[in-house]
């Protein structure tokens, strides 16, 4: 069999009710030269059986299973190891593609000589059938033209306090040879934001990352995801570790703008760690501990005052039945704190 132009990688865990649409959206692509690599991460429902049914009648679909639940990073790497396409691109098992997506992204990647080519996302909230907005609009940076995103541009768009598009949520086309040549995989020590840091590793290794002003990926936003804060502390710890590691590299030394963004985020994370302890003490009624945190770092008082209107507004929306009241991608947030500096495509 000839090398496929694109390998679609799909990690799957307990998505028997949604994976059918994802698989069929790949089968309906106008681009014929593709393979779909599905890795089931120890599902306890019928996800594996559904995937195997499609694979039995379409040789372009390959299904594998982790012997036990390994988590998203290791499952993505398993899928990468089974891939053979010229490019790879992810598809979450609860999302789906527009029928022209792969063909259009492949054409755009060649046009822009891109190692990484991302499009916008069409965002569909739980309970809705049609997209209500795009990722770029939600993040306050509507895409009007293609952008080249360098390391400084990536770091400016880092996390929920980003300035611009949450690039870690995009589902880009990535040149597989670039990953192999630079031995790049998903960081399995991360429990969150592994997508973002894979992009960062590629850009740090010299990848040309282009984002085009088109949206052909249907991204399902689940209310259950937006109300969870269980990973917040892990996010801060893992992100700070990666930023500190970046600051030790030659790239950081030679790119003062990117290094400045990294130092900015580290300072913010130090403050947010103290702020988290401060608010936890208030909620628990340990006012003496809260007072000690204020003395230790008076900035927590300003942070509390700045965040209070947002917190009250989101609680009001939640009481009124808004399932997405705590969605960090929409509504008021602490974004656009860092000055813009992204190169435009010439």
pLDDT recorded at residue 332 = 46
Buried b (16+ CB within 10 A) or exposed e, 265-291: bbebbeebebbbbbbebeeeeeeeebe
250 shares a domain with 202 = no
71 shares a domain with 19 = yes
The DSSP 8-state label assigned to residue 85 in this structure reads S
The CATH number assigned to the domain holding 41 equals 3.90.550.10
Rg (CA), the chain: 21
User: By C-alpha distance, which of 13, 344, 294 is closest to 153?
Assistant: 344
Q: Is the pLDDT of residue 276 over 90?
A: no
The DSSP 8-state label assigned to residue 59 in this structure reads T
d(CA 277, CA 297): 11
117 shares a domain with 23 = yes
And the tokens for 254? 């030679």
In a domain, 159, yes or no: yes
127 shares a domain with 72 = yes
pLDDT recorded at residue 87 = 98
24 shares a domain with 125 = yes
* pTM score: 0.88
238 shares a domain with 207 = no
pLDDT per position as a tens digit, 128-153: 888 989 999 988 898 999 999 999 99
Q: How many CA atoms lie within 13 A of 35 on its CB side?
A: 21
173 shares a domain with 28 = yes
In a domain, 1, yes or no: no
Q: Is the pLDDT of residue 33 over 80?
A: yes
In a domain, 217, yes or no: yes
* pLDDT: which is higher, 335 or 281: 281
287 shares a domain with 193 = no
And the tokens for 308? 């209070």
175 shares a domain with 154 = yes
134 shares a domain with 249 = no
Q: Is the pLDDT of residue 344 over 50?
A: no
In a domain, 156, yes or no: yes
User: By C-alpha distance, which of 122, 106, 235, 101 is closest to 174?
Assistant: 106
275 shares a domain with 180 = no
**Bridge partner list, 12:** 40
> Look-up: residue for tokens 């691109």?
89
Confidence of residue 228 (pLDDT cuts 50, 70, 90): very low
258 shares a domain with 218 = no
Range of the domain at 141: 6-223
Query: What one-character-per-residue DSSP string does 304-319 give?
Result: HHHHHHHHHHHHHHHH
Total residue count of the chain as it appears in this document: 346
């Amino acid at each position: 069999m000839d090398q496929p132009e694109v390998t679609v990688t799909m990690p799957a865990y307990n998505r028997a009710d949604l994976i059918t649409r994802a698989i069929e959206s790949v089968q309906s692509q106008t681009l014929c030269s593709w393979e779909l690599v599905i890795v089931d991460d120890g599902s306890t429902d019928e996800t594996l059986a559904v995937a195997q049914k499609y694979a039995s009648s379409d040789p372009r679909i390959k299904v594998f299973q982790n012997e036990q639940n390994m988590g998203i990073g290791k499952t993505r790497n398993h899928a990468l190891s089974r891939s053979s396409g010229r490019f790879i691109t992810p598809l979450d098992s609860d999302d789906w593609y527009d029928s022209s997506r792969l063909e259009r992204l492949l054409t755009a990647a060649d046009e822009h000589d891109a190692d990484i080519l991302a499009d916008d996302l069409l965002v569909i909230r739980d309970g809705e059938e049609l997209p209500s907005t795009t990722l770029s609009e939600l993040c306050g940076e509507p895409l009007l033209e293609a952008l080249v995103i360098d390391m400084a541009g990536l770091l400016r768009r880092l996390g929920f306090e980003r300035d611009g598009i949450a690039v870690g949520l995009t589902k880009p086309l990535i040149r597989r040879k670039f990953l192999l040549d630079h031995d790049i995989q998903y960081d399995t020590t991360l429990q969150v934001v592994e997508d973002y840091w894979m992009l960062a590793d590629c850009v740090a290794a010299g990848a040309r990352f282009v984002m085009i002003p088109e949206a052909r990926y249907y991204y399902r936003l689940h209310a259950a995801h937006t109300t969870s804060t269980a990973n917040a502390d892990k996010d801060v710890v893992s992100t700070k570790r990666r930023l500190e590691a970046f600051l030790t590299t030659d790239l950081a030394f030679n790119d003062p703008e990117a290094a400045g963004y990294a130092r900015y985020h580290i300072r913010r994370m130090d403050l947010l760690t103290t702020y988290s302890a401060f608010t936890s003490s208030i909620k628990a009624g340990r006012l003496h501990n809260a007072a000690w945190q204020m003395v230790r770092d008076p900035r927590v008082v300003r942070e509390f005052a700045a965040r209070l209107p947002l917190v009250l507004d989101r609680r009001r929306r939640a009481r009124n039945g808004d399932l997405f009241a705590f969605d960090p991608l929409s509504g008021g947030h602490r974004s656009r704190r860092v000055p813009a500096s992204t190169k435009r495509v010439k």
